């Protein structure tokens, strides 16, 4: 059985990337094979650090994609209206403008140096394709996998199939998905349109929704919305991000939240805080947590702080995984062991085959069987007893016999 772990919070800046990194290293350190997807199309920061051979090459490409998709929806219309002549003219002008921006961007990427206002460059140095950039935490050249395609949730009709790979990978291995902000409507459509919860039990695939909370009112409301919609299908882990909130006592008196936690058996964990100094150094050097513990870029005490943080994070993650392990989605039938077609033992005769002393088989009895004489001599005949007067001694006699 494999699990799809969705790391979400539906807001930006709630700590999704930090938890995704901790969850990534939890599987890594425990020797558990898994597949990771950074579904944040605009900023796949976790993928850039942990799988630079795939994601770092998307860093520049995403800016072009933003230009190409700016002002357009799935049908190519910026305002979502019909294909009128006015809209077509606006699209034509917008496309021409975007093409100019892209050409300028490509010109700038060919050289390193300060751009000249007259589109020239000072000290032009062409980037060598023979010396690709190398991630500080690994020797793997970034962007060295040209066949890699990022998986994300999209409203583009031509890209609706992309998240299907998440399910395919989960057929054989656990999956961790770092979700972007405001992805719930697109994710809902993928889950419902493809009836994911219908096929998942048949393929032994389970889910866990790791929901980051900042303690703010809107963050709590978003969690309640998620758990009320999918709480009976996906176990939720309510992650209190201690790096963004220091006092959670106000949640204890939130009746609506506590009712949701109790109704859907939500596991609550406390994600530890990491000081800004260490966090900024790790992000700047693009280090994994494990690499930061031994990195010369961090002082000895900073290394120790990262170690304490990762240890505490993994303890919380472990407790959550154990808590949701036996989650049973509502509406899923409990598997029962197969029963034999005929439970009667072969060496035990059925009532139809019970022979009489004469060697003949007794006929089948009607629905309301009448008392038949028993010719089996080994059984004692039934003797009628005269009625006994109620003296009150019969109860004491029975008790005496029961203990004798």
**The CATH number of the domain where 254 resides is what?**
3.40.50.300
Give a yes or no: residue 107 inside a domain.
yes
Q: Which of 80, 98, 132 is the last residue of a domain?
A: 132
For residues 265 and 305, state if they share a domain: yes
**46 plus 153 within the same structural domain:** yes
Do 162 and 29 share a structural domain?
yes
pLDDT band at 298 (very low <50, low <70, confident <90, very high): very high
Q: Are residues 311 and 273 both part of a single domain?
A: yes
* Calpha distance 365→150 (Å, rounded): 73
Q: How many CB atoms lie within 10 A of CB 260?
A: 21
Of 88, 104, 132, the one marking the end of a domain is 132
Assess whether 174 and 277 both reside in one domain. Answer: yes
The parent domain of residue 159 ranges over 2-56+141-323
- Regarding whether 216 and 317 lie in a shared domain, the answer is yes
60 vs 105: CA distance, rounded Å: 10
Q: Say whether both 155 and 253 belong to one domain.
A: yes
132 falls in which pLDDT band (50, 70, 90)?
Answer: very low
What is the average pLDDT across 208-223? 97
Burial 38-52 (b: 16+ CB within 10 A, else e): bbbbeebbbbbbbbb
Residues 212, 80, single domain; the answer is no
In a shared domain, residues 153 and 92: no
> Across all residues in the chain, what is the average pLDDT?
76
Q: Whole-angstrom Cα distance, residue 172 to residue 3?
A: 10
Quote the CA–CA distance of 49 and 37 in Å, as a whole number: 13
In a domain, 86, yes or no: yes
69 and 192 share one domain? no
Residue 95 lies in a domain: yes
pLDDT of residue 326: 86
Residue 226 lies in a domain: yes
DSSP designation for 208: E
Same domain, 192 and 280: yes
Residue ending a domain, among 294, 323, 352, is 323
The better pLDDT of the pair 326, 154 is held by 154
Residue 115 phi, psi dihedral angles, 5° rounding: -75, 145
Please report, rounded to a whole number, the percentage of residues in the chain having pLDDT higher than 90: 57
Cβ neighbors of 350 (< 8 A, separation 6 or more) are 344
Q: Are residues 42 and 176 in the same domain?
A: yes
How high is the pLDDT of residue 372? 54
Sheet-wide strand order for 175-178: 35-38, 175-178, 2-8, 205-213, 236-241, 267-271
Please, are residues 306 and 278 in contact by the beta-carbon 8 Å criterion?
yes
- Largest separation between any pair of C-alpha atoms in the chain: 126
Measured CA distances, 98 to 57, 111, 121 (Å): 21, 21, 22
Q: Is residue 245 part of a domain?
A: yes
Q: Number of folded domains in the chain?
A: 2
Q: Which of 7, 37, 325, 4 is nearest to 191 (CA)?
A: 4
Q: Is residue 310 part of a domain?
A: yes
In the predicted structure, residue 4 carries a pLDDT above the cut 80: yes
Kindly state whether residue 338 falls inside one of the protein's structural domains: no
Residue 1: which pLDDT band, with cuts at 50, 70 and 90? confident
Q: For residue 186, which of 170, 166, 163 has the smallest C-alpha distance?
A: 163
Q: How confident is the model at residue 34 (pLDDT cuts 50, 70, 90)?
A: very high
What phi and psi, each to the nearest 5 degrees, are found at residue 296?
-75, -10
Residue 33 near residue 51 (C-beta atoms within 8 A): no
| Residue 163 within any structural domain of the chain | yes
């Amino acid at each position: 059985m494999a699990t799809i772990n969705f790391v979400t919070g539906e807001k930006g800046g709630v700590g999704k990337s930090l938890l995704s990194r901790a969850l990534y290293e939890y599987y890594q350190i425990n020797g558990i094979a898994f597949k990771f997807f950074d579904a944040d199309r605009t900023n796949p920061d976790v993928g850039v650090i942990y799988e630079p051979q795939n994601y770092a090459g998307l860093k520049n490409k995403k800016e072009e994609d933003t230009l190409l998709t700016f002002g357009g929806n799935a049908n190519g219309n910026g305002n979502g209206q019909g294909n009128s002549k006015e809209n077509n003219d606006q699209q034509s002008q917008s496309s021409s403008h975007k093409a100019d921006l892209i050409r300028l961007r490509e010109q700038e990427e060919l050289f390193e140096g300060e751009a000249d206002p007259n589109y020239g460059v000072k000290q032009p140095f062409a980037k060598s394709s023979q010396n690709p950039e190398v991630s500080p935490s690994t020797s793997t050249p970034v962007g060295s996998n040209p066949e890699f395609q990022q998986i994300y949730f999209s409203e583009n009709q031509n890209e609706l199939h992309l998240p299907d790979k998440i399910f395919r990978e989960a057929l054989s291995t656990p999956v961790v998905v770092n979700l972007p902000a405001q992805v719930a409507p697109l994710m809902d459509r993928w889950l419902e349109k493809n009836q994911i919860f219908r096929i998942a039990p048949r393929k032994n695939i389970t889910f866990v929704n790791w929901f980051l909370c900042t303690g703010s009112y809107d963050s709590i409301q978003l969690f309640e919305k998620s758990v009320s919609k999918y709480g009976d299908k996906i176990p939720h882990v309510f992650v209190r991000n201690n790096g963004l909130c220091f006092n959670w006592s106000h949640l204890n008196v939130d009746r609506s939240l506590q009712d949701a936690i109790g109704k859907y058996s939500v596991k609550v964990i406390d994600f530890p805080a990491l000081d800004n100094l260490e966090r900024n150094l790790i992000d700047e050097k693009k280090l994994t947590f494990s690499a930061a513990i031994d990195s010369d870029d961090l002082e000895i005490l900073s290394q120790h702080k990262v170690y304490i943080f990762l240890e505490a994070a993994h303890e919380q993650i472990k407790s959550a995984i154990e808590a949701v392990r036996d989650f049973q989605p509502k509406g899923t039938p409990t598997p029962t062991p197969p029963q034999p077609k005929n439970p009667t033992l072969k060496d035990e005769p059925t009532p139809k085959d019970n022979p009489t002393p004469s060697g003949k088989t007794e006929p089948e009895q009607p629905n309301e069987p009448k008392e038949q004489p028993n010719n089996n001599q080994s059984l004692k005949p039934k003797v009628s007893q005269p009625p006994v007067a109620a003296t009150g001694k019969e109860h004491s006699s029975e008790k005496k016999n029961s203990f004798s």
